Amino acid sequence: MTVGELYGRLKDKSKWFFMERDIGRLFSALRSSGDFWEVLDLSEVPMLLASWLVGELEREGFVAVVGEEVRLTEKGECFCRENDISRARRLECPWCRGKAVHVEAYMKVLREFKGLSLERPEPLRQYDQGYVTEESTVARVVLMAARGDLEGNAILVLGDDDLAGLALALTGAPKEVVVLDIDERLLDFIEDKAREVGFHNLEARRADFRDPLPEDLVGRFDVFLTDPSESLPALKAFIGRGVVGLKGLGGAGYFGLTRAESSLWKWRELEKILVEDFGMAITDIIHDFNAYLSWGYEREMKAWDYLPVKAEPKGIWYRSCWFRIERVEETHLENVPIEGEIVEDEEMATA
């Protein structure tokens, strides 16, 4: 059977955006690992689609679930050989781990950041929290330095369970940092620690991004940073508020986007919004820049019921690509309330 024939049999049954290429990606990852979390990571097939697909492949006899593993059967191996599907491999640079920046000049910041993070508030499902490794947070700061978005800049952080505000404070480099979050625990923690390290130009303020950006923050910043939940309305709200916060042309923004919770269809929808509505050019997309630690509520998240194997992840499996965008056209920006729930769409899996 060809990949095209298998796709033809399955495509109309899927509830999610599904391309022929997803089949090749999934088989390729299954050739490399039987650990389903690692398969998700390697394949980059959205989590709910991949879970459903494994069920279909099991019914067709291509895979078997054995204990805590999803294994290719002889039929599955044969399918790969006949369709020239090779093993998925991680071929990232071992020096930067694919982050495209070298943290060496910021080792002191990383060391101090790790120390301060020991007491950080744990993720809450209520806010869809789940934070990145300390290395990822500091790499964001290093990238900002490399792009001229750190020294002397006014920086707005929208949502900060990753503690980017604190890492920025540790550099002592920004002119000011304003951290907005809905979670008072984070605000108190970040403000206290920033003061403790002697950075006094950080303000932490409660915000819900369904509300307009407060007037005194509109048009005040050189740079913003955010890592939103991945429904399109949430991405649009968080990034949109960030853009509203920028001073104007040349203002830059950073945000993360996964393949686990966002299909390439959603990527394109968002990219259209960035370019056409927000007047932004996409200057950087660094693949798998951010690595997230287990958030502790895996068994409660939406995807748990869909997983072919009910076992908790043993290591990092959830990563996001890191975007840098820059304002090149002063399009009209809305700063109006958004009604209703925004942290939900059919591809979101980990909330």
Phi, psi of 113, rounded to the nearest 5 degrees:
-60, -40
Spatial CB neighbours of 100, under 8 Å, sequence gap ≥ 6: 143, 286, 289
Query: CB of residue 173 vs ligand SPD: minimum separation in angstroms?
Result: 25
Spatial CB neighbours of 253, under 8 Å, sequence gap ≥ 6: 223, 224, 225, 226, 239, 242, 243, 246, 280, 323, 324, 325, 326
The residue whose Cβ lies closest to ligand SPD is 130
Cα separation, 180 vs 109, whole angstroms? 22
Query: CB of residue 271 vs ligand SPD: minimum separation in angstroms?
Result: 15
- Closer residue to ligand SPD in complex, CB, 79/322: 322
125 secondary structure, DSSP code:
G
- Closer residue to ligand SPD in complex, CB, 171/350: 350
- Closer residue to ligand SPD in complex, CB, 41/230: 230
Query: Computed from CA positions of residues 243, 247, 248, 249, in that sequence, does the dihedral angle turn out positive or negative?
Result: negative
Query: CB of residue 228 vs ligand SPD: minimum separation in angstroms?
Result: 6
- Closer residue to ligand SPD in complex, CB, 80/338: 338
Binding site for ligand SPD (CB under 6 A): 128, 130, 227-228, 230, 256-258, 292, 295, 320, 350-351
Instruction: State the amino acid at position 55 in one-letter form.
Output: G
The residue among 329, 274, 310, 343 whose CA lies nearest residue 37 is 310
Query: CB of residue 290 vs ligand SPD: minimum separation in angstroms?
Result: 7
- Closer residue to ligand SPD in complex, CB, 58/271: 271
Query: CB of residue 82 vs ligand SPD: minimum separation in angstroms?
Result: 37
Instruction: State the amino acid at position 233 in one-letter form.
Output: P
Give the bridge partners for 258, in sequence order.
320
Phi, psi of 13, rounded to the nearest 5 degrees:
-85, -15
- Closer residue to ligand SPD in complex, CB, 34/242: 242
- Closer residue to ligand SPD in complex, CB, 53/158: 158
Two tokens, residue 179: 């951290």
**Residues 324, 275: contact at Cβ < 8 Å?**
no
Cα separation, 31 vs 87, whole angstroms? 5
| Range list of H helices, the chain | 3-10, 20-32, 36-43, 47-59, 74-82, 107-117, 134-146, 164-171, 184-196, 232-245, 264-272
Two tokens, residue 33: 């690992």
Query: CB of residue 273 vs ligand SPD: minimum separation in angstroms?
Result: 15
Query: CB of residue 267 vs ligand SPD: minimum separation in angstroms?
Result: 12
- Closer residue to ligand SPD in complex, CB, 194/307: 307
Query: CB of residue 307 vs ligand SPD: minimum separation in angstroms?
Result: 15
